[in-house]
Amino acid sequence: MVSRTTMPPTLTDNVLETPLGNFLDSHRAIEKGEACSFTGMGAMKGKFMVKDDEYPHFLDLLHEYLFTQQRRPLNLVEQRRCDACTPILIDLDFKYPAERAIQRQFEMSHIYAFVQEYTKNITHFYDLDGYKSIRFFVTLRPAPYEDKKAAARSIKDGVHIQCPDSVLSSEHQQVLRHRSL
């Protein structure tokens, strides 16, 4: 008698064949100048408009894709809407002289300390008693890179932090960012 082992289901490499890919594909902003909430590069290139009432579903699909299925991160950038309140978005960009080694100049402990300080500043201005917790999603490039496009070559790196649990105006987000740096 032959023994059989159960193999896990094969995951497709094509993001468009996933629930997240289908969702984003159905939310493409096609017309030139049309409002968008995300832009994508790489496998999910394009502009996408996810309405506020669909945003929690989008986050659930993204969580499933990244953390449950453990797939590769997508290059999605949430677009700030200056005329409205948006989830907290923090973009920390770093630029170093080209003579430096192409290696990360910060550690996860620095990011953790920044998020702790940012949270402390949120509680300075806002009452968070109604929140069980607030989540921060941190995304990084795999490694710093040399920017050869600029007139003066440089090494670039950065951190993107998103807090979908708190929605603030752009002005309030700028105050928190500057107070936290």
**Residue ranges of domains in the chain, CATH in brackets:** 1-79 (no CATH), 80-181 (3.30.70)
Q: How far apart are the first and last CA of the chain?
A: 66
What pTM was estimated for this model as a whole? 0.61
Mind listing the pLDDT tens digit for each residue in 77-91?
878 666 678 889 899
Closest alpha carbon to 84 in 175, 180, 172: 172
Instruction: Name the burial class of residue 175, with classes exposed (0-12), middle (13-18) and buried (19+) by CB atoms within 10 angstroms of its CB.
Output: middle
Tens of pLDDT, residue by residue over 50-101, are 998 999 999 999 999 988 998 888 888 878 666 678 889 899 999 998 888 8
More confident residue, 5 or 178: 178
DSSP readout, 147-169? E-SSSS-EEEEEEEEEEEEEEE-
Task: Pick left, alpha or beta for residue 112 (phi over 0 → left; psi -120 to 50 → alpha; otherwise beta).
Answer: alpha
Q: Nearest Cα to 162, choosing from 3, 41, 38, 72? A: 38
pLDDT number for residue 49: 93
pLDDT in tens, 29-49: 988 888 888 898 888 889 999
Average pLDDT taken over every residue of the chain: 86
